[in-house]
Amino acid sequence: DAKTTQPPSMDCAEGRAANLPCNHSTISGNEYVYWYRQIHSQGPQYIIHGLKNNETNEMASLIITEDRKSSTLILPHATLRDTAVYYCIVRGDQAGTALIFGKGTTLSVSS
């Protein structure tokens, strides 16, 4: 079973920041938080991951709370192309650990 809880859907206006929350209250010390997104009928695309520090790359920022029980993915200036299903996944770093997907959040960006 997925170890994360996400809202089923969210809306965002184009050009505004999209803040996608994720709860992972049972996360353990060696588990990372990963974010992927899936645009309709395509394979999922890796966005970002982190352990306990906030992370930023060219696509997004990841904010992890101090107790690590929740996180927020931030798309700073959402565009129509960011409309997708966003998956938050908790994964250990040991060998042989597969990604377990939940149902994710459907983000709809509108003009």
Partner 1 sequence: DGGITQSPKYLFRKEGQNVTLSCEQNLNHDAMYWYRQDPGQGLRLIYYSQIVNDFQKGDIAEGYSVSREKKESFPLTVTSAQKNPTAFYLCASSWDRGWRGTEAFFGQGTRLTVV
Q: Which residues bind partner 1 (CB under 8 A)?
A: 2, 32, 34, 41-46, 49, 87, 91, 93-104
Give the closest residue to 105 by CA, choosing from 16, 18, 1: 18
Give 14 or 49: the residue with its C-beta nearer to partner 1.
Answer: 49
Nearest approach, Cβ of 46 to partner 1 (angstroms)?
Answer: 4
Nearest approach, Cβ of 100 to partner 1 (angstroms)?
Answer: 7
Q: Are strands 70-75 and 61-64 parallel, antiparallel or unpaired?
A: antiparallel
Give 29 or 96: the residue with its C-beta nearer to partner 1.
Answer: 96
Give 15 or 103: the residue with its C-beta nearer to partner 1.
Answer: 103
Nearest approach, Cβ of 51 to partner 1 (angstroms)?
Answer: 10
The residues, ordered by sequence, that sit 6+ positions from 107 with a Cβ below 8 Å of its Cβ are: 9, 10, 11, 12, 18, 20, 78, 82, 83, 84, 85, 86
Q: What is the 3-state secondary structure (H, E, C) of 37-69?
A: EECCCCCCEEEEEECCCCEECCCCEEEECCCCC
Nearest approach, Cβ of 66 to partner 1 (angstroms)?
Answer: 23
Give 14 or 101: the residue with its C-beta nearer to partner 1.
Answer: 101
